Amino acid sequence: MININAISKRYSNTDAPVLSKLSLTVADGESVSIRGASGSGKSTLLSLIAGFESPDSGSITIGSQTLPFSSEKNADRFRRQALGVIFQSYNLIECLNVWDNIAFTSRLKGNSDDEYQLHIMGLLGITHLKNKPAHQLSGGEQQRVAISRALVHKPTLVLADEPTGNLDEATSDKVSAALYDTCQSLKTTLVVVTHSDDVARMAGQQRWLRHGQLHSEPA
């Protein structure tokens, strides 16, 4: 369960707070999609949930873990074991090939599972890219590698920032179905930020971020 209670966040260079007493509850295994204008604070919210940054006020708990983490070591352990993050910029390791990029986190965790990795890559249609170095991939291919990397260690929470932003419509449908289905079958909680109505509608809960808060209806 994610429980976000009245968090606010302001950056020093902005007049208005980006997030203002924002609250959200997501049950274990549930999915929620978040839409909102560019600059409304969607990536900021994901970054706070991942504990990369801290809110100025309010509280965030993820399962039994209350943020902020007590140490960087605990944060690392939590992210490695429980969290899969699909960044808006893919953050692949350029010099590694596709297979090694995807396996990276599960190897750190010491539980890489080649068969499961192949299964995930098959769902995302990238098995044929296995040996290709990351720097030779198209944007959409990098995106699918980043999604595979976020799912392959079977996290309990996946945070996805525009996971289909670089894909054509047919590939977007296939990839978003793979993302939702995988999370559902693993009972993984999923928070998806997207500009796509089709991707957003697949979520159990739909929210719109505006004026620093989440709403249940579009403006």
Binding site for Mg ion (CB under 5 A): 43, 88
* Binding of ligand ATP by 164 (CB under 6 A): no
Task: Pick one of ligand ATP, Mg ion, none as the site partner of residue 44 (Cβ within 5 to 8 A by kind).
Answer: ligand ATP
* Binding of ligand ATP by 144 (CB under 6 A): no
Q: Return the amino acid letter for 43.
A: S
Torsion region of 63: left, alpha or beta (phi above 0 gives left; psi -120 to 50 gives alpha): left
Task: Pick one of Mg ion, ligand ATP, none as the site partner of residue 131 (Cβ within 5 to 8 A by kind).
Answer: none
Percentages of the chain per state (helix, strand, coil), in multiples of 5: 40, 25, 35
Residue choice 7, 22, 32, 40 for contact with ligand ATP (CB under 6 A): 40
* Binding of ligand ATP by 43 (CB under 6 A): yes
Select from 34, 14, 38, 1 the least CA-distant residue to 199: 34
- Does residue 45 contact residue 206 with C-beta atoms inside 8 Å? no
Nearer to ligand ATP, 47 or 117 (CB): 47
CB of 55 to Mg ion, least distance (A): 17
Task: Pick one of Mg ion, ligand ATP, none as the site partner of residue 39 (Cβ within 5 to 8 A by kind).
Answer: ligand ATP
Distance of alpha carbon 59 from the chain centroid:
20
Give the number of other CB atoms < 10 A from CB of residue 91: 12
Task: Pick one of Mg ion, ligand ATP, none as the site partner of residue 136 (Cβ within 5 to 8 A by kind).
Answer: none
CB of 160 to ligand ATP, least distance (A): 12
Of 82-111, which residues contact ligand ATP (CB under 6 A)? 88
CB of 163 to ligand ATP, least distance (A): 13
Residues contacting 84, CB < 8 A, separation 6+:
149, 150, 151, 153, 155, 157, 158, 159, 188
- Does residue 34 contact residue 45 with C-beta atoms inside 8 Å? yes
Nearer to ligand ATP, 10 or 174 (CB): 10
CB of 43 to ligand ATP, least distance (A): 3
Could you list the beta-strand ranges (E) of 67-174: 83-86, 157-161
* Residues at the interface with ligand ATP (CB under 6 A): 11, 13-14, 18, 36, 38-44, 88
